[in-house]
Chain A
Amino acid sequence: GENVEQHPSTLSVQEGDSAVIKCTYSDSASNYFPWYKQELGKRPQLIIDIRSNVGEKKDQRIAVTLNKTAKHFSLHITETQPEDSAVYFCAACRVLTGGGNKLTFGTGTQLKVEL
């Protein structure tokens, strides 16, 4: 089955700096890579995703890059703000016959943005 590794497990940055979280996956059939943000005590929420036929996607201060050959993908947050503090999860997704999808999550990165 799919295996997703995520690093680092904790990340502390100063407000205004950039943060980068990296993930690797094992199943070459995975074709969709979402990122979820989970604030303390709340549900995971999708913040950005990328398909396997795209190398980079950007949405305001967040961007995701994908290297399909190396099976790496990364989340980049620029100009970090205190409200970016949360746990971030990467996931690899394989679309299943019948149209559903099966997500395998990384183990999460606790991001802390310090003032």
Chain B
Amino acid sequence: DADVTQTPRNRITKTGKRIMLECSQTKGHDRMYWYRQDPGLGLRLIYYSFDVKDINKGEISDGYSVSRQAQAKFSLSLESAIPNQTALYFCATSAKGQGAFQPQHFGDGTRLSIL
């Protein structure tokens, strides 16, 4: 789905730098999520948001922060990057659904390398 767009697609940076990954969507979904993918570990949830200004921690939120100031945008920040944050990061969205599963739709990912 080209309508979940992540920028940048690739980034190489140094330890200690502040980095922001952007996610924007044109699907009109309320729910947005950030995951990281590491080989052999699957996808792990970092943060999620149900609406503008709503922020919830996932299972691995330490070292990360997020901002949801518009329905269509959800940004992930690494305040002071460290090498073990090197990973593939995915943004996902899902529609609002009362009591029903709404599929999550993923962006193309951002490959982040921290030296």
Question: Which residues does A use to contact B, with CB under 8 Å?
Answer: 1, 6, 9, 31-32, 34, 42-46, 49, 51, 89, 93, 95, 98-108
Main secondary structure of the interface of B (DSSP, over half): loop
A95 in complex: contacting residue of B45, B101, B106, CB < 8 Å: B101
B106 in complex: contacting residue of A45, A99, A107, CB < 8 Å: A45
Question: Which residues does B use to contact A, with CB under 8 Å?
Answer: 1, 30-31, 33, 40-45, 48, 50, 58-59, 90, 94, 96-109
Q: Which residues of B contact A32 (CB under 8 A)?
A: 101
CB <8 Å contact, A49 and B97: no
Subset of 20 A-B contacts with CB under 8 Å = A31-B101, A43-B90, A43-B107, A44-B90, A49-B103, A95-B101, A98-B50, A99-B96, A99-B98, A100-B30, A100-B48, A100-B94, A100-B96, A101-B94, A101-B97, A102-B48, A103-B33, A103-B104, A105-B42, A108-B40
Other CB < 8 Å A-B pairs besides A42-B108, A89-B42, A100-B48, 5 of them?
A: A1-B59, A9-B40, A98-B50, A100-B30, A101-B104
A105 in complex: contacting residue of B30, B43, B100, CB < 8 Å: B43
- A45's nearest neighbour on chain B, judged by CB, is B106
- A89's nearest neighbour on chain B, judged by CB, is B42
Q: If A34-B101, A49-B101 touch, does A103 touch B41 (CB 8 Å cutoff)?
A: no
Tell me, rounded to whole Å, the shortest Cβ–Cβ distance linking B104 to chain A: 6
B109 in complex: contacting residue of A1, A43, A98, A103, CB < 8 Å: A43
CB <8 Å contact, A95 and B94: no
